[in-house]
Structure 1
Amino acid sequence: MFRTKAGLPMLWVLMPFLLSLNFGACQLVLATVPPRPNVLFIVTDDMNNDLGCYGNPRVHSPNIDELAKRGMQFDRAYCQVTVCNPSRVSMLSGLRPDKTQVYTLTEETRSHLGDWVMLPEYFRKQGYFTAQIGKIYHTDDGFEDPRSWDVEIREFGKRPPEEEIIAGADPDGPGEHTNDWSVLKTPDEETPDGIVARKAVEIMEDAVNREEPFFLGVGFRRPHAPFAAPKEYFDMYPPDTIDLPPSVPDGYYENLPEAAINYPAPEKPLSEKEQRELIAAYYACNTFVDAQVGVLIDAVDRLGIADNTVIVFLSDHGYHLGDHGGFWHKMSLFEESDRVPLIIYAPGMKAAGQSTEQLVELIDLYPTLVALTGLSERENLDGINLTEVLNNPEEPTKPAAFTVVSRSENPAADHAKNMDYLGRSVRTDRWRYTEWDGGKRGIELYDHQNDPRELKNLADDPKLADTRSQLKNLLKSSHSLRKTP
């Protein structure tokens, strides 16, 4: 069973082996050296917080929910960039985007990082067996990082074969982003993500048999579009049972900077039927990913390594599903795009089964995993060590979380591939403050205490001038350009 004995230390248990010899009053005490903790690092693509444990009762996610009960759920975790490649580079380097200088899908992982030691590579250098199965870094040469891994099985099968598709649609959505969904007749174990989960289990079994500590990066493609999953998951979400997001106030877009809109709207708005189908398909993919996470957790249980394996579950960024009056996909600086699911389980943690409201960022994972496994502290990282929060969910972390996103001068261009300027956002306990192009293209200010959906831009409210000034200084102090390592 996936349980931890009461009273275990934070990292692992030192189990003394006592051998008593009758040499008068002498005793010889021999102590076994504890094995180094393993790391199971699970990354999903484009998954928002629409999960049961995060408060969406409509979404079936029993395995992720169970992991949250065993570990700690971070209710306010934020990515550093709201698109895949730069988010992953920041997270895996432990550095803010101002240091990685990777903001789009076209900038390669080490374009400005040189020989910087990435998270899995650091474990490899410390004697860990490291393996990538699926999407951990972004895909293709120049974006992957072979030096991080002993075994590298890259992402494959982005689109399902036509002969496996039972039903589907491809509505004309915003921008150039894909909006298609597909119901598959493929069984789980024959889908790309199903293969990734089962191959990861094989590699885990081999490492356990070799008694070799491992760092396994297991990356699932879904729920990234196209929303493709086996039929049984779609059956859980009949579109006519799906609720649409609440409407926005009249005049909402008139008080919103143009740069804040992530993708140009389609000439013909999505119908309510198309919206429900898209949301249902997305939910189906979340549940499909949950089942693959279950395959991994079951293997940890079966192999009896739960008391010596740190497990992390996260997404690279959030996702819009028609909120804010018609936002879809990512690439914004709103809560739905910036906030991510994050769960950490560590053997012996004192706050197992609890959640925390403390602000955390994905760059915090690097120093946290180094600390949880007892490795030498890694210098010059931008994140913080979260181990104390795992023992006490009230333990203070940081005053704010920061997220950036790129923008192109041409609204019809793909912002994810072309950058002419940046949007920068700071999220504190109460406020979100955002500047576009240093404020030249607009400012946003939202009060989460009274407006959790971020629908009323208070940037021009004279009564909040002091608040705006404080947040501006906070944003500037943390996101000023710094030299790369």
Structure 2
Amino acid sequence: MSRTDIGLLIPTCLVLFLFFGFSNIRQSVSAADSTRPNVLFIVTDDMNNDLGCYGNSRVNSPHIDELASRGMQFERAYCQVTVCNPSRVSMLSGLRPDNTQVYTLTEQTRSHLGDWVMLPEYFRKQGYFTAQIGKIYHTDDGFEDPRSWDVEIREFGKRPPEEEILLGADPDGPGEHTNDWSVLKTPDEETPDGIVARKAIEIMEEVVGRGEPFFLGVGFRRPHAPFAAPKKYFDMYPPDSIELPLSTPDGYYESLPPAAINYPAPEKPLSEKEQRELIAAYYACNSFVDAQVGVLLEAVDRLGIADNTVIVFVSDHGYHLGDHGGFWHKMSLFEEADRVPLIIYAPGMKAPGKKTDQLVELIDLYPTLVSLAGLPERENLDGINLTEVLDDPAKNTKLAAFTVVSRSTNPAADHAKTMDYLGRTVRTDRWRYTEWDDGKRGVELYDHQSDPRELVNLAEKSDLAETRQQLKKLLKVEQNQ
């Protein structure tokens, strides 16, 4: 089969729907609604803060950096769950995981939410044209949310075809998680993420031509494993040039509470060569996603809608790359997995190009976008409106950010799919405090003022008992909201 046979990459029914059914959709929406601001909601998968604008000068991300120069870069944004499905359900519902009751990859989006109106669905109910292109909700029936969208083009092409792979490897990494990487001969525009960006532009052009306001959810699969991207992005990162994570104290990994370890260590540790290749492949995928973001931003400028389009760039959670003595992937409650890149551009914002150190959470996106669009305020959301921060980066937001992750008591089980108990963490301006199974399976306390890498657990320090109690109380308050 040919690379250019797009029917191989997108289910045929969706292709037909896009090309033959799109122009007849929602003709009842008044052209007068075009005064409302559009929303371009860009979500990437498993991306940490290894970007140029976030301080990693080794990573080439000019287009995301450019968006940050136009909008506001949130230095301390945190997801609510460090795995894809529950994080996205929380973000798109505007509710904490204890209210969505979705903690794993197996619980479906509306398993406990019923008729709750999700973020894109709310815009649709307010007369917006809404479209999903790629991965916004988690993939497959029961996890996707058709009622949110006028057009729904779901994620496709998780793995590249063998005939497109020039070079690759699949080292035996932690647990059962995917660790493979692939250098592709595929041009950008024929990769799944490249197609997602370009289909999003086709829809954008059509809707702008009709004079309707839009909410476009554009979801990129990368840098989620397998780390697959065209060769030119791998060429940016020769493995020999990659620096490995800083070392940790001897015995550090073994000193952690067992519950804090996200995946069992492999019998044979990854070699330095394998680690460098994995990190290089991850960086290549970040740069590849950056290029697709650039395609979208160019279209916004070309169509002349930058002055009337809110743009969000965000990841569903962070990612470990060998730090903490050998952590890889996600599913932890450390900073590397909890913290995410978040950039918001809003026309007329008073602090473009600024950064803010205020604590924010992904649940804050729902009320913020509703406010920026001038829509009626939504009640009973758990997040806060960040619009004042877009005008003043020093504007206080919240005392703390909260993240949870599921754990199984069976060491052979996949923590992402089976839950027997939770880990909970609270991040304040100075501290991170974590409890596993309400403290029965371990407690951690880290002082970011002296230990930003979170390597020295202070939970047993008697002189910090009061601090520990205050943070424990914060966790209890969050659970009862």
* Same-fold status (TM-score > 0.5): yes
Q: Deviations over 1:364-419 (max 9, x none)?
A: 00000000000000000000000000000000000000000000001221100000
TM-score (norm 2): 0.93
**Which of structure 1's runs of 4+ aligned residues deviate more than 4 A?**
none
- Over the aligned positions, Cα root-mean-square deviation in angstroms equals 0.9
1:198 has 2:198 as partner: yes
> Within 1, Cα distance between the matches of 2:478 and 2:168?
45
Q: Per the alignment, do residues 33 and 236 of structure 1 end up closer, same or farther by CA in structure 2, a change over 3 Å counting? A: closer
Match of residue 210 from structure 1:
210
Deviation at 1:223, TM superposition (A): 0.1
TM-score (norm 1): 0.92
Match of residue 84 from structure 2:
84
1:323 has 2:323 as partner: yes
Match of residue 358 from structure 2:
358
> Within 1, Cα distance between the matches of 2:253 and 2:282?
26
Match of residue 261 from structure 2:
261
1:357 alignment partner, SS class:
strand
Deviation at 1:34, TM superposition (A): 7.1
Deviation at 1:254, TM superposition (A): 4.2
Give yes or no for contact 2:46–2:319 (8 Å, CA) kept in 1: yes
Q: Tell me the amino acid that sits aligned with residue 456 of structure 1.
A: V
Match of residue 453 from structure 1:
453
Q: Deviations over 1:169-196 (max 9, x none)?
A: 0000000100000000000000000000
Q: Calculate percent identity across the aligned residue pairs.
A: 86
1:184 has 2:191 as partner: no
2:35 alignment partner, SS class:
coil
Give yes or no for contact 2:34–2:213 (8 Å, CA) kept in 1: no
The equivalences for 1:224-243 within 5 A come to 224-243=224-243
Give yes or no for contact 1:402–1:425 (8 Å, CA) kept in 2: yes
Match of residue 288 from structure 1:
288
> Within 1, Cα distance between the matches of 2:99 and 2:226?
32
Match of residue 105 from structure 1:
105
Give yes or no for contact 1:261–1:332 (8 Å, CA) kept in 2: yes
Give yes or no for contact 1:95–1:382 (8 Å, CA) kept in 2: yes
> Within 2, Cα distance between the matches of 1:256 and 1:443?
10
Q: Deviations over 1:291-346 (max 9, x none)?
A: 00000000000000000000000000000000000000000000000000000000
Match of residue 23 from structure 1:
none
> Within 2, Cα distance between the matches of 1:97 and 1:33?
34
> Within 2, Cα distance between the matches of 1:87 and 1:240?
34
Give yes or no for contact 2:77–2:341 (8 Å, CA) kept in 1: yes
Give yes or no for contact 2:253–2:326 (8 Å, CA) kept in 1: no
Q: Per the alignment, do residues 298 and 83 of structure 1 end up closer, same or farther by CA in structure 2, a change over 3 Å counting? A: same
> Within 1, Cα distance between the matches of 2:224 and 2:255?
30
Deviation at 1:255, TM superposition (A): 3.2
Q: Tell me the amino acid that sits aligned with residue 198 of structure 1.
A: R
Give yes or no for contact 2:146–2:152 (8 Å, CA) kept in 1: yes
Give yes or no for contact 2:33–2:212 (8 Å, CA) kept in 1: no
The runs of 5 or more residues in structure 1 that have no matched partner are 1-31
1:434 has 2:441 as partner: no
Deviation at 1:251, TM superposition (A): 2.9
Give yes or no for contact 2:34–2:212 (8 Å, CA) kept in 1: no
> Within 1, Cα distance between the matches of 2:399 and 2:413?
35
Match of residue 53 from structure 2:
53
Match of residue 393 from structure 1:
393
Please identify the structure whose Cα radius of gyration is greater.
Answer: 1
> Within 2, Cα distance between the matches of 1:34 and 1:257?
54
Deviation at 1:198, TM superposition (A): 0.1
Give yes or no for contact 1:255–1:457 (8 Å, CA) kept in 2: no
Deviation at 1:256, TM superposition (A): 1.3
> Within 1, Cα distance between the matches of 2:412 and 2:166?
33
Q: Deviations over 1:122-178 (max 9, x none)?
A: 000000000000000000000000000000000000000000000000000000100
